[in-house]
Amino acid sequence: MDRETLLEYSKLFQKYLVDNGMDEQWAVLVNTILSVVTVALVVGLVDLIARKLIVQLFKAFSNKTTTTFDDFLAKSNFPRFVAHFIPLGIFWYLLPILFADYPFIKKVILVIFQIYLVALCVLVFRSILRSTVNYLRQKNENFGDKPLESYSQVLMIFAWGAGIFILVNQLTGYSIQSLATLGAASAVILLIFKDTILGFVASIQVSINDIVRIGDWITFSKYGADGYVTEINLATVRVQNFDNTYTTIPTYSLISDSFQNWRGMQEAPGRRIKRSLYIKQNSVKFMNPDELEDLKKISLIKPYIEHREKEVSRFNKQNEIDKSLLVNGRNQTNLGIFRKYADAYLHENPAINKDMFLMVRHHPPTDKGIPIEIFCFSFDKKWENYEHIQADIFDHLIAAVPYFGLELFESPTGKDFNRL
């Protein structure tokens, strides 16, 4: 039925009122109100029926398909948004008839209708976008650690911007293609969305350079973040700290500031142990034969002591060294033997990865003693197990130090001063 026929039918009640003595202006008003109420009820009923029908049909369709993309569309209310287009089409068709006698009201209602239509189109686009992001995250592991939310937010900004430009063009008839308009619009956009644009640039650089992924353990001292990255979006990066608190970091700071990413450690075949024991310098000494015999009882270093003892004795005899003083010639020290013991202990420890770098090294003396550093890698990278392995190693070495006639440095306490 065309609009002219519908318009004639809509005037029947108006004619009836005029024929029964009502003023024509009042008859037009009453007829318009009655027509609007009737159309509103019809459109509301159609919207309700269309929404339920389309949602049910979409669910039935998604249950029969093997892909899960339509399931994500259903969860993002895609069928509900699409269903709204049917009553909108009916209302748009009837709008010139309802307000034929009130052109100003028709114009205002048309503006509201256009705004709602653009918003609905953007919501449909957002629904598709969210469904795509969720689908890619679930079905493709390669996208699991990528900042897809950042890209979707940028597309949504462009979608809303396009919608606003279309409304401006439709409502005012003003062309947005002129250079001056685009320049002004660009300046406003840069001013309003400065942080968003910086975040977008940062998101691209983070993704391309593979700086941070979702699931990475990062330490960002400036913002007090130390935990796993749970979300990367356009403006912020969300980090769940180890105490289950959350820290929000500006995305742009990932490329403008320095932070620590532990991914390399997580992907490596071992986790580094690097810690020192501080030996008192005045406890270091040359070992006499009797002391060496006592240390031979330690099975881990007995072969080393015997081998070194032969080398030292051969060198001293060949060079006719006077051994009435231990300082003459070549000698073994308790600190050197302890270093070899620590090295042998690490090589015997099944928790240490022998294929990676392993070393017990001697740092320059300090005012706190001589640092003997343990540098190695544990097989187990899980934090809790790693700490247990590290603690077990140093528990043993600290307890072993006195057997070599060495002492650990420790700052004096109140009891030490009381003894003095």
Q: What is the pLDDT of residues 376-415, one digit of tens each?
A: 999 998 888 999 999 999 999 999 999 999 999 988 777 7
- State whether 251 and 327 are in the same domain: no
CA dist., res. 119 & res. 131, Å (int): 18
Give 200 or 181, the one with higher predicted confidence. 200
- For residue 271, the cross-strand partners are 378
Q: What is the mean pLDDT of residues 45-65?
A: 78
Among 234, 264, 294, the domain boundary falls at: 264
Among 127, 144, 161, the domain boundary falls at: 144
CA dist., res. 29 & res. 105, Å (int): 12
Among 90, 122, 144, the domain boundary falls at: 144
Give 311 or 40, the one with higher predicted confidence. 311
| Number of domains, the chain | 3
Range of the domain at 312: 271-419
**Do the domain assignments include residue 198?**
yes
Q: Which CATH number characterizes residue 193's domain?
A: 2.30.30.60
- State whether 258 and 289 are in the same domain: no
- For residue 247, the cross-strand partners are 239
Residue 13 CA, distance from chain mean position: 64
Element (H, E) at 370: strand 370-378
- State whether 326 and 287 are in the same domain: yes
**Do the domain assignments include residue 306?**
yes
- State whether 415 and 366 are in the same domain: yes
Q: What is the mean pLDDT of residues 83-106?
A: 75
Q: Which among 222, 221, 225, 219 has a CA at the least distance from the CA of 246?
A: 225
- State whether 237 and 329 are in the same domain: no
**Do the domain assignments include residue 43?**
yes
pLDDT band at residue 205 under the 50/70/90 scheme: confident
At CA 166, angle to CA 203 and CA 186, rounded to 5? 45
Q: What is the mean pLDDT of residues 39-55?
A: 81
- State whether 46 and 137 are in the same domain: yes
**Do the domain assignments include residue 105?**
yes
- State whether 77 and 201 are in the same domain: no
Phi, psi for residue 286 in degrees, rounded to 5: -75, 150
The backbone region for 292, taken as left when phi is positive above 0, alpha when psi lies in -120 to 50, beta otherwise, is alpha
pTM value is 0.52
Mutual orientation of helices 103-139 and 85-98 as an angle, nearest 10°? 170
CA dist., res. 196 & res. 239, Å (int): 19
pLDDT band at residue 179 under the 50/70/90 scheme: very low
**Do the domain assignments include residue 276?**
yes
C-alpha torsion sign, points 209, 213, 219, 225: positive
Mean pLDDT of the chain: 80
**Do the domain assignments include residue 41?**
yes
Q: Yes or no: say if 412 and 394 are a contact pair by the CB < 8 Å rule.
A: no
Q: Yes or no: say if 304 and 376 are a contact pair by the CB < 8 Å rule.
A: no
- At residue 10, does pLDDT exceed 70? no
What one-letter code names the amino acid at 98? L
- State whether 82 and 118 are in the same domain: yes
- State whether 123 and 224 are in the same domain: no
- For residue 231, the cross-strand partners are 238
Burial 282-320 (b: 16+ CB within 10 A, else e): ebbeebeeebbeebeebeebeebbeebbeebeeebeeee
Neighbours of 418 (CB within 10 A): 7
In sequence order, the 6+-apart residues with CB closer than 8 A to the CB of 235 are 153, 195, 196, 199, 250, 251
- State whether 415 and 316 are in the same domain: yes
**Do the domain assignments include residue 401?**
yes
Burial 22-56 (b: 16+ CB within 10 A, else e): beeeebbbebbeebeeebeeebeebbeebbeebbe
3-class SS at 376?
strand
CA dist., res. 257 & res. 253, Å (int): 5
- State whether 98 and 226 are in the same domain: no
CA dist., res. 205 & res. 4, Å (int): 60
- State whether 280 and 256 are in the same domain: no
91-95, 242-246, 254-258: least confident range: 91-95
Q: What pLDDT, on the 0 to 100 scale, is given for residue 359?
A: 93
CA dist., res. 183 & res. 172, Å (int): 19
**Do the domain assignments include residue 229?**
yes
3-class SS at 232?
strand
